[in-house]
Amino acid sequence: MSTANITATQAPVTTIREIGRHEGQAVTIRGWLYNLRESGKLLFPIFRDGSGVIQGVVAKNAVSPEMFDSVKKLTQESSVIVTGKVRADKRAPGGYELDVSDVQVVQPVPESDPFPISLKEHGVDFLMEHRHLWVRTPRQASILRVRAEIIKAARDFFDDRGFILTDPPILTPAACEGTTTLFPVDYFGEQAFLTQSGQLYIEATAMALGKVYSFGPTFRAEKSKTRRHLTEFWMVEPEIAYATLDDLMKLAEEFVAFIVKRALERRRPELETIGRNLAPLEKIDTPFPRITYDEAVKMLQEGHAKGELENRFEWGGDLGSPDETYLSSKFERPLMVHRYPAAVKAFYMEPDPQRPEAALCVDMLAPEGYGEIIGGSQRIGSYELLLKRIREHGLPEDAFRWYLDLRKYGGVPHAGFGMGIERVVTWICGLEHLREAIPFARTLTRIYP
Ligand code: 4AD
Ligand code: MG
């Protein structure tokens, strides 16, 4: 670190995002050198400060020879405090340029050990290995901004509709979503697990508060390497007392439409930086199409007959990625598939009274082939049936005593869903892989950095 005094600046400190308010004035920004171009007696350093990117202009005859030289030698990602006059320029990406008068170097990146991520192309493995530095690039930083906006939108949606945030535990004694994807934890000599979903606990708080939601990290020890699976991901889960599957589907479509609109409203420049084609997102509005699992099976079998799908889908199976992609490609809005066979779904789902082999559940599939973004259901109301299911699934009865209590003391029909934040970020940003949708992805093969 140099001895640069980061508070004794020459002009009022501002951010690149807000620099337009200071047109014609001298300001100071604090950030990093992103890139440097040279053209005769002019230097064009591009600075970033986390809020945005701006091009500076350093004219040889406007600064001291030492200053000109020190800017000329600046290396990528050196930290700098820059003072200059703000000038409007229609051609500049943010609308402004900075006529630089002073640059203090806070920490120069040595030429002998340059910033590993240069502006040329790198392989994704290399980038993931340097994720702690990769997040500085404009595209990655834009994705993180969109993610933050989606999380804020999700919270606002529920907060403004009378839902109370209740945080479920992360260390839990038992499974919620099947026993094959549990991360074990040694809990003072007892076996515990990282939570797969907050659902069971927010069923309890829903009986206390009516409408609740949780938002937190969830864990799946999935041995799958697909681009849609993380071992640690963030889920937002609403749970509502006195709600049916129909209420849930209505809530889910309003929720997702709200989030897409918010992202378009507030993060359009970032989505453009990412290179997202916005046209498909502009079409997202309620109502969303709804089909039953049986109808989905029919569509898949017809698709196979037409040669559009490799394998013939048989009733009773869970939908795989190619099936989801095929179904959702037939619609421009997210598709809700409801009433799957109970046998392929979780133990807690209420059977359809009209057809007990089907569960009162729904999955929402994002358009453009992005797959499942939401899974939810009405929950089993009957104590006896729930106990039977717990036994059938080989779950430890003792760990579920409290959960069974909820069906003993004033149980009511209730329902909820979970939406994976990274799945939605991946869809809205148009990414290829979930690993870019979270600051530090955890996958089957990666726990570094
Ligand atoms: O469908 P899932 O497994 O449902 C539940 O966990 C319910 N207990 C939720 C509830 O009813 N409250 O997961 C919900 C969502 C999926 O639709 C998907 O968006 C995301 O969580 N998800 C994953 N995201 C990233 N990596 C994984 N391995 C994921 N597994 C599920
Ligand atoms: Mg699911």
* Residue 4 pLDDT: 62
Using the atom order of ligand 1, give the atom closest to the CA of residue 200: 8
Q: Which residue has the higher pLDDT, 3 or 440?
A: 440
3-state secondary structure of 269: helix
Contact 395, 174 (CB under 8 A): yes
Q: Averaged over 215-222, what is the pLDDT?
A: 96
Average of per-residue pLDDT values in the chain = 96
Report which protein residue has its CA nearest ligand 1's atom 30: 229
* Residue 307 pLDDT: 96
Dmax (CA) for the chain in angstroms is: 86
Contact 68, 96 (CB under 8 A): no
* Residue 2 pLDDT: 53
Report which protein residue has its CA nearest ligand 1's atom 27: 229
Ligand 1 centroid to Cα of residue 220, in Å, is 9
Please tell me if the CB atom of residue 81 comes closer than 6 angstroms to any atom of ligand 1. no
Query: Is the model's pLDDT at 185 over the cut of 90?
Result: yes
Report which protein residue has its CA nearest ligand 1's atom 1: 375
337 vs 331: CA distance, rounded Å: 12
| Burial of 216 from C-beta contacts in 10 A (0-12 / 13-18 / 19+) | middle
CATH code for the domain defined by 2-107: 2.40.50.140
Report which protein residue has its CA nearest ligand 1's atom 24: 420
* Residue 431 pLDDT: 98
DSSP one-letter code for 140: H
Q: Taking the model in full, what pTM does it have?
A: 0.96
pLDDT in tens, 63-122: 999 999 999 999 999 999 999 999 999 999 889 999 999 999 999 999 999 999 998 899
Q: Where in the chain is the domain with CATH 2.40.50.140?
A: 2-107
Cβ of 174: how many Cβ atoms within 10 Å? 20
**Residue labelled with tokens 């996958």:** 443
400 vs 390: CA distance, rounded Å: 8
Ligand 2 centroid to Cα of residue 124, in Å, is 28
Please tell me if the CB atom of residue 149 comes closer than 6 angstroms to any atom of ligand 1. no
* Residue 225 pLDDT: 87
pLDDT in tens, 275-302: 999 999 999 999 999 999 999 999 999 9
Query: Is the model's pLDDT at 5 over the cut of 90?
Result: no
360 vs 345: CA distance, rounded Å: 10
Q: β-strand 211-219 against 164-165: which pairing, if any?
A: parallel
With cut-offs at 50, 70 and 90, classify the pLDDT of residue 378: very high
Please tell me if the CB atom of residue 237 comes closer than 6 angstroms to any atom of ligand 1. yes
Query: Is the model's pLDDT at 210 over the cut of 80?
Result: yes
Query: Is the model's pLDDT at 150 over the cut of 90?
Result: yes
Q: Averaged over 155-164, what is the pLDDT?
A: 98
With cut-offs at 50, 70 and 90, classify the pLDDT of residue 266: very high
Ligand 1 centroid to Cα of residue 319, in Å, is 14
Q: Averaged over 142-154, what is the pLDDT?
A: 98
Q: Which amino acid is at 314?
A: E
Please tell me if the CB atom of residue 350 comes closer than 6 angstroms to any atom of ligand 1. no
Please tell me if the CB atom of residue 422 comes closer than 6 angstroms to any atom of ligand 1. yes
Ligand 1 centroid to Cα of residue 419, in Å, is 6
With cut-offs at 50, 70 and 90, classify the pLDDT of residue 3: low
Cβ of 224: how many Cβ atoms within 10 Å? 11
Q: Where in the chain is the domain with CATH 3.30.930.10?
A: 131-436
Q: What are phi and psi of 47, to 5 degrees?
A: -105, 150
47 vs 35: CA distance, rounded Å: 7
Question: In the chain, what percentage of residues exceed pLDDT 70?
Answer: 98
CATH code for the domain defined by 131-436: 3.30.930.10
Of all ligands present, the nearest one to the C-alpha of 236 is: 1
